[in-house]
Chains A and B, each alone.
Chain A
Amino acid sequence: MKVIILGGFLGSGKTSVLLQLSQFLVSRSPKEEGTTPVVIVENEIGGVGVDNLLLENQGLTVKNLFAGCACCTSSAQLEDTVSFLKKECNPHWIIIEATGLAYPDKIKHTVESAFGVETGIITIVDATRWFRLIAAMEPFVSGQLENARGVLVNKIDCVDEACIDAVIESLKTYNPTIPCHPISAITKLTDVFWVTLLGSLLKRP
């Protein structure tokens, strides 16, 4: 079992990326009896879920973690949830969609400490709002980049080239070595893209 955490601020496009990522992982996972290719943990800060309904309608296995944030107030529940899924579903992959208010690195720490599994963070940023968010809440938004194996600069269909370059330049000031991938999550992301992004995570133990 391996774990991928999708982080990023509210409205950055995590769910759109998740839909594509889960399809990619399902297509690559071996069909073994008694296992589930991909299970999604959907964390919502509020008591009512919206994204989980969309994901369930796509036929995905979704476990909800509502009314709290898995990086802080619901970290204990996250451990319980992953433990339950490991036992009940025996998944090849668990994708945790963090709340837009979470620090993904804290979730990674919780999962790795409790289960000792390989865990990767993908952070999604909204190219159209990056500078506004940085101006309003820099420590928080930049904190979401911590320990990410890649940043997806989303919504590039809504901005020009100069804006994309400026966002990437800004991202590099917080983490000079972080790989940045401009994307539009509403268009199909290729298998080559995912292989490049996930790299060693895709290797079977």
Chain B
Amino acid sequence: MKHEQHEHNGEPCSCGHDHSEPHQHHDRRKDAAEPCACGHDHSQHPAPHENQHEKYIPEELSITHHENAVIVSAEREISGDYTRIKEALSIGLKSLAGWVENQNGLVGHIKAHLSEKGGSAMLSTTGDEVQIRETANPGVLINLAVIVFVENEVGLTDQVSKMLKQLC
């Protein structure tokens, strides 16, 4: 079975994996109580192997790694005014980039996409007039992608969590 995680181009590798065994991608909670059944001997894997396991942490952030980059992703719906959230997020992203720089890290990119959520309407009829019930529930769907090179990963996730909390 093909080992998909590394490209060694036929050269001997020093990644620490046992390539004689099937290696499949899988999600495994780092803090899961159940043992992993992937067939790897995790006791022999060097730290970078953690890259293959997506970690789920509070605040609906997911963290992955690639090469030396830390990738934090989040998708969240926040109630409130679009303009207020947009402006607060703009300040938050700038602050996050500054934090990375202060950690002697490097910002790859920090991106967010906002979609405005607005009112909704239910239309119904039994043959007479059409009844319309409208509800106004302003909010924003935020897609966030943070790719940075920084050693303090815990600090990074704290910063991102804090930023998202401040939007609420």
Binding site for B on A (CB under 8 A): 9-11, 44-51, 53-54, 67, 69, 71-73, 75-76, 99-101, 106, 132-133, 136, 140
Sample of 5 A–B contacts (CB below 8 Å): A45-B147, A47-B64, A71-B7, A73-B5, A100-B108
For B115, the chain A residues whose CB sits under 8 A away are 53
Judging by beta carbons under 8 Å apart, are B66 and A45 in contact? yes
Known: A53-B115, A100-B147. A48 touches B73 (CB 8 A): yes
Judging by beta carbons under 8 Å apart, are A50 and B111 in contact? yes
Is the C-beta of B74 less than 8 angstroms from some C-beta in chain A?
A: yes
For B78, the chain A residues whose CB sits under 8 A away are none
The binding surface of chain A is classed by DSSP as loop
How many chain B residues touch the partner (CB < 8 A)? 30
Q: Which of B7, B71, B106 contacts A46 (CB 8 A)?
A: B71
A48 CA / B164 CA spacing, docked (Å): 15
- Counting residue pairs across A and B whose Cβ atoms lie within 8 Å, the total is 75
A100 CA / B2 CA spacing, docked (Å): 25
Shortest CB-to-CB span from B141 to chain A, Å, is 9
Judging by beta carbons under 8 Å apart, are B108 and A140 in contact? no
Judging by beta carbons under 8 Å apart, are B112 and A46 in contact? no
Judging by beta carbons under 8 Å apart, are A69 and B66 in contact? yes
Known: A46-B62, A47-B64. A54 touches B145 (CB 8 A): no
Known: A72-B6, A73-B4. A48 touches B74 (CB 8 A): yes
Given A10-B109, A45-B71, A50-B112, 11 other A-B contacts at CB below 8 A?
A11-B107, A11-B109, A44-B145, A46-B73, A49-B145, A50-B144, A72-B5, A73-B5, A99-B66, A100-B147, A101-B67
